[in-house]
Amino acid sequence: MASIVLRNVEKYFGDNYIVRKLNLEIRHREFLVLLGPSGCGKTTTLRAIAGLEEIDSGEILIDGQAVQNRQAADRDIAFVFQLFALYPHLTAYANIAFPLRATKENRNVVDRRVREVAKALRIDGLLDKRPSALSGGDMQRVAIGRALVRRPKALLMDEPMGALDAKLREEMRAELKHIHLENEATTVYVTHDQVEAMAMADRIAIMNDGVLQQVGLPSDVYQYPVNLFVAQFVGSPIMNVVNGAIRPGDGCTNVVLGENDAVQRFPVELHHKVAERRQGQDKLAIGVRPEAVLVARQATDGYFPAEAHIIERLGPYDIVDLKFGTQLFRSRTASGYVKKAGDVVWARLDEKQTHFFDDRTGEALRIRL
Amino acid sequence: MAHVELRNINKKFRRHTALNDLSLDVGDGEFFVLLGPTGAGKTTTLRLIAGLDAPDSGSILIEGADVGQWSAAERDVALVFQYYSLYPHYTVRENLEFPLKSRHRRISAEQVAARVARVAQTLRIEHLLERKTDRLSGGEMQRVSLGRAIVRQPRVFLMDEPLSNLDAKLREILRAELKDLQMKFRATFLYVTHDQVEAMSMADRIGVLNGGRIVQIGTPDEIYNRPRDTFVATFVGSPAMNLLSGVFRDGKVMVVPGKLEIPLDAEVANRLPAGLDRVTLGVRAEDVVVGPGGGLEGRAYGVENHGVEKIVTLKVDEHSLKATVPANMAIEVDSAIPFAIDPAKLQFFADQTGVNLGWKKEEPNHE
């Protein structure tokens, strides 16, 4: 098993950067998810680690060895693609055995390794079936089995569940993570689906426009996003963001949302913290996730009035769109808490879960109350 | 806007039964979502209403009139597809004007301009009007497609997975916009999707379709809290409802004797049919409560972080069940986890058929 280190990795196409000054360390046995929108450079990065793509500058180290000039076959890494790419005329057994047979491995060893992997993946009953007779989830397991049977130093996966339907993805997520825990292969997993990333990752690396934005635990990325891009890419529904301003008040700091759409009192130290970081600039962007928009049905001190617009009753909870002034904020409430669209309710931002960003650069001001 | 009714529709493609005795009723100004997996018959249903296909038997009524013999144009319904079908060399404005310039319509130039302006404003695409459609983003193209449907002022909107090619964030935004639009125009929407979140978040009522049959029709609340069978129970909601097969004896359900036994309140037990032996229990992840004193214990098989909360997969022998826990709760994989299941939140399904034993039809489909 292995650690993977990327040092100043760059890849460009003409004048356009695909990956820019990428520095990232993937630890031994770690499950790291590369997350970002399409075109952000995540797949290029993965392919560069695998040796399927040459890099223009920088270094890729596997277990401390620079491998950027080595062939893909010499890197001892297995790649699982979005489309299963199984050989249709071969049985599941022969598909899994294929990489070992290609190296002319002893037949008994091949048999033992294939059966071990199949058992771990719980496909030992399906070994004599051809891919066409398998479900999508089982095909994916066979593809993973084929990758694992070589006992590679690292496993690279490019949206391996992209072709599966929602229910199966949900099941496979838990399975895949469990396979990882048993197998302990260092894994780099590429996806654009933040739910998948949050659910499976030990750490998430978020990319946008070829640039690494943030690396961290799922809970860190969710609770302490470093900029607006990360804040709004991770989490569903999307974090509410509004431009606003802060004004010193009487023993408090007044936070103005929008153009005076609402004003909420915050602790007095907020004003000092912003002043320290913004040198007299009082405008900023304020972000708050739906679960941190607190809602009351009665007029409550410190809350501002808002009108319930659309109510999405999702089952375990509701998402209520709140209108105040020209703003629309989404809040997460207990199911049935707001009775109907058009009701007037009272809202406030949970100050401990309110994020503050530079309104021009989108960088987090790293202020936490 | 109009009321749409399907009565006992059957449709076969060669020997494949696409729709089997399908009846449903979409009220005037209602947002009705047909939800089901691939191949359930959702798109076939839309095509029959639009007049692009004819049923083998049964009738289709729009505003009470049987439209079986009417052409697609005469039905005056608008169809919006998954893949936007815009004219690539035309501007957005020309695309929006196009349906109004049909010679059947005879709409004055001023009226055309006024309608296009109003729609563009509603959809916030005014700044794109002079742009060619091949220079738009996915979300903009889908807005223009919607605009082209709206500008016609059809009696009914039929939507075939219009958001499924868009990325997750855009889908979330457009979901809210679509619902807003539908409410604003008091339009009749029949919306087809395989995505239960879309159905739950937008629908006034949902019709769950499986294998060409309507399994259940109800409000999102009814579908979620009183699923008719195990198909609906597991198709709607994420994570899927936990199903556990057990034996009902002495007032409790035994899934794993001695390890996973759930005592029922006498009042709950009395509602179950006499002579019940094997039964499938259903319980949602949010009703599996992790914490000490629950009386049950499982092994943590996996933990998923969902930001606002975590979902833990618990194993009791080979049975697995998912539980929602607060985001700040630390759970070690492979550790023993105490939990409880609230008996009042249990659903009971017949072991063989999967039909909900407590299910009662709330309202007849047809008066």
Domain edges within chain A: 4-233, 240-357
Contact yes or no for A315 and B220 at CB 8 A:
yes
What whole-number distance in Å separates Cα of residue A365 and Cα of residue A356? 6
A174–B301 C-beta distance less than 8 A: yes
- Min mean pLDDT across A84-93, A252-261, B213-222 is at A84-93
Residue A297 pLDDT class (50, 70, 90 cuts):
very high
Q: Classify residue A356 as exposed, middle or buried by CB count within 10 Å of its CB (0-12, 13-18, 19+).
A: buried
Angle ∠(B136,B142,B143) on CA atoms, nearest 5: 90
Sign of torsion over alpha carbons B45, B51, B52, B58: positive
Check residue B329 and give its pLDDT.
94
Say whether domain B235-350 belongs to CATH 2.60.40.1180: no
Residue A239 one-letter amino acid: M
Measured between alpha carbons, how far is residue B175 from residues A37, B66, B74, B170 in Å?
19, 32, 29, 8
CA atoms of B24 and B203, how far apart (whole Å): 15
- Residue A364's pLDDT is 97
- What is the pairing mode between strands B242-249 and B252-256? antiparallel
d(CA B283, CA B301): 18
Mean pLDDT (whole number) for A157-162: 86
Residue appearing with tokens 């709330």:
B362
Query: What's B312's DSSP letter?
Result: E
Q: How many A/B residue pairs have CB atoms within 8 Å?
A: 97
Residues 6+ apart with CB under 8 A from A14: none
Span A240-357: which CATH code?
2.40.50.140
- Enumerate the residues of chain B whose CB falls inside 8 A of the CB of residue A193: 168
Side-chain-facing half-sphere of A93: CA atoms under 13 Å: 11
Sort A142 into a burial class: Cβ within 10 Å, 0-12 / 13-18 / 19+: buried
Residues B167, A192: C-beta atoms closer than 8 Å: yes
**Residue range A315-323: mean pLDDT, rounded:** 96
Q: Which residues contact A48 (CB under 8 A, 6 or more apart)?
A: A9, A11, A19, A54, A55, A60, A68
Q: Which amino acid is at B7?
A: R
Nearest CA in chain B to A335: B221
- Chain A residues at the B interface, defined by Cβ less than 8 Å, are 37-38, 165-167, 170, 173-174, 177-178, 181, 192-195, 198-200, 218-219, 222, 232-238, 289, 291, 309-310, 312-316, 319, 321, 332, 335-336, 341
Strand ranges (E), chain B: 4-13, 16-26, 31-35, 57-62, 65-66, 77-80, 156-160, 189-193, 205-210, 213-218, 242-249, 252-256, 260-263, 278-283, 288-290, 296-305, 309-316, 319-326, 336-341, 347-350
C-beta atoms of A193 and B183 within 8 A = no
Residue A99: its H or E element: helix A92-102
Specify burial of residue B274 (Cβ count, 10 A radius: 0-12, 13-18, 19+). Answer: exposed
Closest by CA to B304, choosing from B282, B283, B325, is B325
Tell me if B167 and A38 make a contact (CB, 8 A cut-off).
yes
Same fold flag, A4-233 and A240-357? no
Sketch the domain layout of chain B as residue ranges.
4-230, 235-350
Residue A84 reports pLDDT greater than 80: no
Query: Quick one: A4-233 is in which CATH superfamily?
Result: P-loop containing nucleotide triphosphate hydrolases (3.40.50.300)
Q: Compute the distance between CA of residue A334 and CA of residue B152 in angstroms, rounded to an integer.
A: 40
Out of B168, B173, B304, whose CB is closest to A193? B168
B304, B322, B347: which to substitute to probe chain A, counting the most A Cβ within 10 Å? Answer: B304
Give the domain B4-230 fold.
Rossmann fold (3.40.50)
Alpha-helical (H) ranges within B253-305 are: 266-271
* B94–A contact, CB cutoff 8 A: no
B302 close contact with A: CB closer than 8 A: yes
pTM beyond 0.80: the answer is: yes
Average pLDDT over residues A252-270: 95
Using a CB-CB cut-off of 8 Å, the residues of chain B touching A218 are: 305, 307
Q: Does B31 touch chain A (CB under 8 A)?
A: no
A48-65: per-residue pLDDT in tens?
999 999 999 999 999 999
Is the pLDDT at A206 greater than 50? The verdict is: yes
CA distance A14 to B187: 50
| B189/A contact by beta carbon, under 8 A | no
Q: Which residue of B has its CA nearest to A239?
A: B169
Q: For chain B, which residues score pLDDT lower than 70?
A: 1, 83, 103-104, 359-367
Beta-carbon separation of B240 and A198 below 8 A: no
Question: In this prediction, does ipTM exceed 0.90?
Answer: no
